[in-house]
């Protein structure tokens, strides 16, 4: 990697960012001409010491706070901002991978224009401005249109103001996941076009109607943390979560019960539950419940059971459970968005209202404000373009050419527009049809702000000098206004977007009541904190008058014989597909199927048998609007007659990692907007086995535990009664005393050998405790580990051969589902167990695997010859071999093509071909904190050292610390009765204790 970053370039980067990120925007793009030598050290830049900048993640609209770790002028790691009430220091896999967005090798490196031959060629920025001004001069008023993604905050305001300045009102917003159904339901039931704030932390009973709140829905990192505490064990009582969806999503993995009604009947089920609640305790309901009483009375459990295919007694039980504790029902997930999804969401609103949750676990007030975004809006824009009503189109932050059904004809309509300008920083499907490409800065290079919900004003600041000749779109708009001149220019006083932003924050300072300090202080404090968070007071909402007239139809799409219901669900890895250009995410196994680098269709075992399909068989899926061919994945967690495909793959552009990979489910969806203005993610399809076959690039070996007790679970009843049954794999009997003695002697000898000379004395023993009750399987830890430890991505073909290098992996096992027991999923994050009696150590002929005094199984890359005996002897299979030269810039297998290599953590070696590697417990972080403590003359405090996986975990499932200190958090956790060691029958004495997953199963 060092080859690409020579000294000269290094000093340039250091010199410029060293001047302070505050100066970055004023400097403007382009390589600086002055070199700053370290003779005059730049302020805040100490070689070898990281600087952290607070900013906001823009990978999805949740608005998680980030701390970006910058070393010698380049961002090397993003971490959650612990002060952000949204994510509290955690970050999801997509957030972690935002670095690979910044350093993506296929970013557009400067402005480009389409030439006469139809090819893009670089042009100068000023030239581009001139061309735009010319074109705009020819267009009149509303013929200038602006399409953006969901942008709330100053940029949103600037776009509106700029459009007004050029005499147009043609603004469109398209965010593929805009939750139109949820907003429509809130409008219909409560008269409010907003998305409320959900309080998972206080909800002891969660009923999710197909809502993937741990994956992509609204604010998954926040929900994961709050859910894990709301669902957790308090005084031997535990929350309960029931997931209702035809498909068991990753979110449903965390459920205590999975109910799979007929697809499209979830709303009726919600009404049935509300019916029982109201009938059982009519006095507990709010007074205005009379508005829905006749409606609910029509939905008695027996009638609902007939529609949904869920037994009436189950409905009664769910209702009784739901009413008994503080509860929360949620709906409106994209994966459940069929054309009656607004009815489902409305029914769930009524259920929440009847159960008294509105105002408690469902709060309006701190809600996400209305957005103009809807699929209907995109359809309107498409029609306008087709009609020739748009002559100049600006597009920013959205990719409708990918994120819309092919039946909509967006691309064809786009060609009708005379002049199209894209601000995309990557060559995506939409920008590939543009006439002019004016790449925006990556969010990590930008000044900006963002308002995910009322009361949250989040700031973004550039964490490093822009990599390429890009300009922030805000700056471009202001420059264009100046160039147009006249009245347009006079509307703007700010010289650049940063000033514009600060002007807007001056107003905000007044709004927030921060007049006591100067603006500079307010600005600096806000920047440092990543923004300003306020908690607006919840407002009281009442049922809308018209609620009684609502109709609750079920989805009717999949009725015809021989047809199946296709569900297109958002990928927890790629979101709406925008993140598909990140190698880390492509290589991240899907949390459900564990497939990497490709598309698939999930088929139930029954359906697979009917069609004669096995894993990897190529299946042609045909809907009324198109057809795609993808390999099948036979998934026990999907209802027979339903097939599912994730959104996110099948790009025709978007750089080397995403292009021509898999198929896009958008090719199948019906392009007609639904009644609520959204896109239906359900459609009727027929499938056909083409006869082709391809081996799935899956990271999973066996999908069952084979009775080995790897990921163990227990029930809350057993926890309460102290009856936890630990499963000891490998031996049933006690270990004979003589064997114990031999084992102990061996371990003592190991410790003695490692603690000689300079290493004599007492040492910590580092250990982990992982609470499987909290783990949701989201895999944020995996990507965090890739980022921290310079783990190479190996590509699809190598994954097929099981050669992925993830030092931590989420093992996913299915249990039950055989007709007798319900299907459940057991999850287990597996990394090096840093065994006390490690089988890997004695077999290494050259001591490359050895034991450190503080109990780590170290791996000396330099000494490794590559016999791979250690891996054979590792029962946990957590050692990874470098089959190719992934760290060599001159090798075909190079995993960090420039400028991705700039992300490499300078504290961690990039491993070479032919050596073994594995989890080190982030030894660089341990040593870093130990050094800090030594310099300050103190001991390392418990909790001070955080491993990358632990830090990233949204559910706070991982605890790290010193096992030799009985008061440390990890020792306390490891001592809990439900703690166990994986494969403890092998006497390896692992440093990792897993706390059994506790399930709140129905008793009796």
Partner 1 sequence: MTATARPEKMAATRPTYADVTRDVVATLGNPSKAYYGLLAFVLVVLAIGVGALLYQIRIGLGVAGYTPPVMWGVYITTFVFWVGIAHSGTLISAILFLFRSTWRTAVYRTAEAMTVFAVMTAGLFPLIHVGRLWYAYWLIPYPNQRQLWVNFKSPLVWDLFAIGTYLTVSTLFLILGLVPDVAAIRDKATGWRKKLYTITALDWRGTDQQWRHYSRAYLYMAALATPLVLSVHSVVSWDFAVSIVPGWHATIFAPYFVAGAIYSGVALVITLLVPLRKVFRMERYITTDHFENLAKLLLFTGMIVTYAYVVEYFMAWYSGNQFERDAFWNRAFGDYWWATWTMIICNSFLPLFLWFKKIRRSIPALLLLSLFVNLGMWFERFVIIVVSLSHEYEPYAMGHYTPTWVEWAILAGSFAWFFTWFLLFAKNFPTVSIVEVKEVIPMPRRKMAH
Q: Which residues bind partner 1 (CB under 8 A)?
A: 700-702, 704-708, 710, 729-732, 798, 801-803, 809, 811-813, 830, 839, 842-847, 863-869, 871-873, 875-877, 880-885, 892-893, 913-916, 983, 986
> Which CB, 158 or 699, lies closer to partner 1?
699
Residue in this structure with the two tokens 């996941």, named with its chain if needed = 177
- Measured distance between the N- and C-terminal CA atoms of the chain, rounded to whole angstroms: 61
> Which stretch of DSSP H or E encloses residue 335?
none
Q: What does the block give as tokens for 325?
A: 């504790």
* Residue 207 burial (C-beta neighbours within 10 Å; 0-12, 13-18, 19+): buried
* Residue 967 to residue 965: CA distance in whole angstroms: 5
> Which CB, 151 or 844, lies closer to partner 1?
844
Kindly list the distances between the CA atom of residue 353 and the CA atoms of 55, 118, 358, 541, in Å, as whole numbers in the listed order: 37, 57, 5, 10
Kindly list the distances between the CA atom of residue 930 and the CA atoms of 241, 896, 941, in Å, as whole numbers in the listed order: 41, 30, 10
The CB-of-810 to partner 1 minimum distance in angstroms stands at 9
Beta bridge partners of 297: none
The CB-of-851 to partner 1 minimum distance in angstroms stands at 12
> Which CB, 451 or 841, lies closer to partner 1?
841
> Which CB, 293 or 803, lies closer to partner 1?
803
Contact 152, 452 (CB under 8 A): yes
* Residue 27 to residue 412: CA distance in whole angstroms: 40
The CB-of-758 to partner 1 minimum distance in angstroms stands at 14
Cα 465-469-472 angle, rounded to 5 deg = 75
The CB-of-913 to partner 1 minimum distance in angstroms stands at 5
> Which CB, 167 or 897, lies closer to partner 1?
897
Contact 607, 558 (CB under 8 A): no
> Which CB, 266 or 811, lies closer to partner 1?
811
* Residue 895 to residue 908: CA distance in whole angstroms: 15
Q: What does the block give as tokens for 884?
A: 């190719």
| Coil vs helix vs strand at 689 | strand
> Which CB, 604 or 750, lies closer to partner 1?
750
* Residue 398 to residue 494: CA distance in whole angstroms: 26
Beta-sheet pairing, 564-570 with 626-634? unpaired
> Which CB, 529 or 893, lies closer to partner 1?
893
* Residue 319 to residue 354: CA distance in whole angstroms: 11
The CB-of-893 to partner 1 minimum distance in angstroms stands at 7
The CB-of-884 to partner 1 minimum distance in angstroms stands at 4
> Which CB, 611 or 883, lies closer to partner 1?
883
* Residue 931 burial (C-beta neighbours within 10 Å; 0-12, 13-18, 19+): exposed
The CB-of-755 to partner 1 minimum distance in angstroms stands at 18
CA nearest neighbour of 585 among 596, 599, 570, 600: 596
Q: What does the block give as tokens for 89?
A: 């220091």
* Residue 922 to residue 925: CA distance in whole angstroms: 5
* Residue 731 burial (C-beta neighbours within 10 Å; 0-12, 13-18, 19+): exposed
Contact 304, 147 (CB under 8 A): no
The CB-of-426 to partner 1 minimum distance in angstroms stands at 30
The CB-of-888 to partner 1 minimum distance in angstroms stands at 10
> Which CB, 151 or 729, lies closer to partner 1?
729
Neighbour count for residue 169 (Cβ, 10 Å)? 12
> Which CB, 389 or 803, lies closer to partner 1?
803
The CB-of-370 to partner 1 minimum distance in angstroms stands at 45
The CB-of-374 to partner 1 minimum distance in angstroms stands at 42
Kindly list the distances between the CA atom of residue 639 and the CA atoms of 37, 61, 595, 647, 786, in Å, as whole numbers in the listed order: 65, 31, 20, 19, 35
Q: What does the block give as tokens for 108?
A: 């557009």
> Which CB, 590 or 670, lies closer to partner 1?
590
> Which CB, 463 or 878, lies closer to partner 1?
878
* Residue 302 to residue 431: CA distance in whole angstroms: 53
| Coil vs helix vs strand at 602 | strand
> Which CB, 728 or 929, lies closer to partner 1?
728
The CB-of-837 to partner 1 minimum distance in angstroms stands at 11
DSSP 8-state secondary structure symbol assigned to residue 651:
B
The CB-of-883 to partner 1 minimum distance in angstroms stands at 3
> Which stretch of DSSP H or E encloses residue 478?
helix 473-484
Q: State how far Cα 901 lies from the chain centre.
A: 23
* Residue 801 to residue 780: CA distance in whole angstroms: 24
Phi-psi region of 922 (alpha: psi -120 to 50; beta: other; left: phi over 0): left
The CB-of-154 to partner 1 minimum distance in angstroms stands at 47
* Residue 527 to residue 67: CA distance in whole angstroms: 11
The CB-of-715 to partner 1 minimum distance in angstroms stands at 23
The CB-of-974 to partner 1 minimum distance in angstroms stands at 21
> Which CB, 514 or 589, lies closer to partner 1?
589
> Which CB, 39 or 706, lies closer to partner 1?
706
> Which CB, 837 or 929, lies closer to partner 1?
837
* Residue 24 to residue 30: CA distance in whole angstroms: 11
Q: State how far Cα 679 lies from the chain centre.
A: 22
The CB-of-757 to partner 1 minimum distance in angstroms stands at 12
């Amino acid at each position: 990697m060092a080859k690409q970053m020579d000294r000269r370039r290094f000093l340039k980067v250091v010199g410029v960012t060293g001047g302070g990120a505050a100066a970055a925007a004023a400097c403007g793009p382009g390589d600086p001409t002055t070199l700053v030598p370290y003779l005059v050290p730049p302020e805040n830049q100490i070689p070898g010491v990281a600087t952290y900048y607070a900013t906001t993640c823009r990978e999805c609209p949740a608005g998680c706070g980030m701390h970006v770790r910058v070393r010698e002028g380049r961002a090397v790691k993003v971490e959650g901002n612990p002060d952000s009430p949204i994510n509290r220091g955690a970050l999801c896999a997509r957030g972690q991978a935002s670095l690979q967005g910044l350093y993506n090798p296929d970013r557009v490196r400067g402005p480009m224009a389409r030439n006469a031959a139809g090819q893009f060629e670089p042009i100068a920025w000023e030239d581009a401005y001139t061309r735009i001004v010319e074109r705009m001069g020819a267009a009149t008023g509303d013929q200038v249109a602006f399409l953006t993604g969901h942008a709330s905050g100053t940029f949103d305001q600037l776009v509106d103001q700029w459009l007004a300045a050029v005499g147009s009102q043609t603004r469109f917003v398209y965010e593929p996941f805009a939750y139109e159904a949820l907003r429509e339901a809130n409008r219909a039931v409560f008269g409010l076009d907003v998305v409320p704030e959900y309080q998972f932390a206080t909800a002891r009973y969660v009923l999710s109607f197909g809502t993937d709140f741990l994956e992509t829905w609204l604010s998954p990192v926040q929900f994961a943390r709050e859910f894990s505490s709301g669902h957790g064990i308090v005084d031997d009582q535990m929350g309960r979560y029931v997931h209702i969806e035809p498909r068991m999503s990753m979110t449903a993995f965390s459920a205590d019960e999975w109910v799979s009604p007929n697809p499209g009947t979830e709303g009726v089920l919600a009404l049935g539950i509300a019916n029982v609640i109201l009938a059982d305790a009519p006095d507990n309901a709010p007074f205005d419940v009379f508005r829905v009483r006749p409606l609910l009375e029509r939905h008695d459990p027996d009638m609902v059971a007939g529609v949904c295919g869920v037994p009436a007694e189950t409905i009664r039980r769910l209702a009784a459970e739901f009413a008994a504790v503080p509860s929360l029902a949620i709906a409106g997930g994209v994966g459940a968005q069929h054309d009656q999804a607004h009815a489902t969401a409305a029914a769930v609103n009524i259920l929440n209202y009847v159960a008294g949750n509105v105002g408690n676990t469902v709060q309006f007030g701190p809600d996400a404000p209305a957005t103009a975004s809807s699929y209907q809006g995109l359809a309107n824009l498409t029609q306008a373009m087709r009609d020739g009503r748009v002559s100049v189109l600006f597009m920013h932050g959205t990719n409708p050419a990918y994120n819309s059904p092919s039946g909509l004809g967006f691309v064809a309509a786009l060609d009708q527009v005379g002049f199209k300008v894209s601000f995309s920083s990557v060559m995506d499907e939409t920008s590939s049809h543009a006439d002019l490409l004016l790449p925006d800065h990556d969010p990590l290079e930008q000044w900006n702000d963002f308002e995910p919900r009322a009361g949250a004003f989040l700031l973004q600041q550039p964490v490093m000098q822009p990599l390429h000749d890009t300009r922030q779109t805000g700056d471009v708009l202001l420059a264009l206004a100046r160039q147009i001149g006249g009245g347009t220019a006079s509307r703007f006083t700010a010289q650049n977007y940063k000033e514009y932003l600060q002007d807007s924050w001056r107003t905000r300072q007044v709004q927030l009541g921060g007049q006591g300090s100067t603006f500079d202080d307010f600005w600096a404090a806000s920047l440092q904190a990543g923004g300003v968070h306020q908690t607006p007071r919840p407002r009281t909402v009442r049922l809308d008058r018209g609620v009684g007239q609502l109709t609750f139809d079920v989805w009717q799409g999949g009725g015809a014989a021989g047809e199946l219901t296709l569900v297109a669900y958002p990928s927890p890895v790629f979101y709406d597909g925008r993140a598909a250009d990140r190698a880390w995410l492509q290589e991240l196994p899907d949390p459900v199927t564990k497939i990497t680098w490709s598309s698939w269709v999930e088929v139930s075992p029954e359906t697979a048998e009917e069609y004669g399909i096995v894993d990897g068989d190529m299946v042609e899926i045909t809907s009324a609007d198109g057809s795609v061919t993808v390999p099948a994945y036979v998934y026990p967690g999907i209802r027979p007659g339903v097939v599912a495909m994730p959104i996110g793959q099948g790009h025709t552009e978007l750089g080397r990692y995403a292009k021509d990979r898999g198929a896009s489910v958008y090719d199948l969806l019906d392009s007609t907007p639904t009644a609520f203005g959204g896109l239906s993610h359900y459609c009727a399809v027929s499938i056909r086995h083409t006869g082709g076959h391809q081996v799935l690039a899956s990271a999973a070996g066996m999908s069952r535990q084979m009775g080995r007790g790897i990921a163990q679970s227990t029930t809350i009843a057993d926890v309460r009664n102290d009856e936890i049954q630990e499963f000891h794999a490998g031996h049933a009997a006690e270990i004979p005393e003589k064997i114990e003695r031999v084992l102990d002697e061996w371990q003592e000898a190991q410790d003695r050998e490692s603690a000689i000379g300079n290493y004599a004395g007492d040492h910590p023993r580092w250990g982990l405790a992982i609470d499987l009750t909290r783990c949701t399987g989201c895999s944020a830890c995996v990507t965090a580990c890739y980022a921290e430890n310079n783990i190479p991505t190996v590509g699809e073909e190598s994954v097929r051969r099981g050669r992925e290098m993830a030092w931590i992996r989420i093992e996913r096992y299915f249990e039950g589902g055989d007709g007798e027991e319900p299907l459940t999923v057991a999850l287990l994050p597996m990394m090096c167990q840093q065994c006390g009696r490690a089988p890997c150590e004695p077999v290494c002929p050259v001591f490359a695997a050895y034991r450190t005094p503080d109990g780590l199984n170290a791996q000396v890359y330099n000494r490794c010859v590559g016999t791979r005996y250690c891996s054979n002897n590792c029962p946990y299979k957590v050692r990874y071999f470098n089959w190719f030269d992934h760290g060599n810039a001159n090798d075909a297998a190079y995993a960090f093509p420039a400028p991705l290599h700039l992300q490499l953590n300078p504290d961690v070696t990039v491993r070479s071909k032919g050596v073994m590697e594995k989890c080190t417990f982030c030894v660089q972080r341990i040593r870093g904190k130990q050094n800090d403590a030594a310099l300050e003359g103190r001991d390392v405090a418990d909790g001070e050292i955080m491993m990358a996986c632990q830090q990233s975990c949204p559910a706070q499932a991982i605890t790290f610390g010193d096992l030799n200190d009985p008061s440390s958090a990890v020792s306390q956790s490891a001592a809990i009765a439900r703690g166990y060691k994986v494969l403890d029958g092998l006497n390896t004495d692992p440093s990792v204790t897993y706390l059994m997953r506790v399930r709140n199963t129905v008793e009796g």
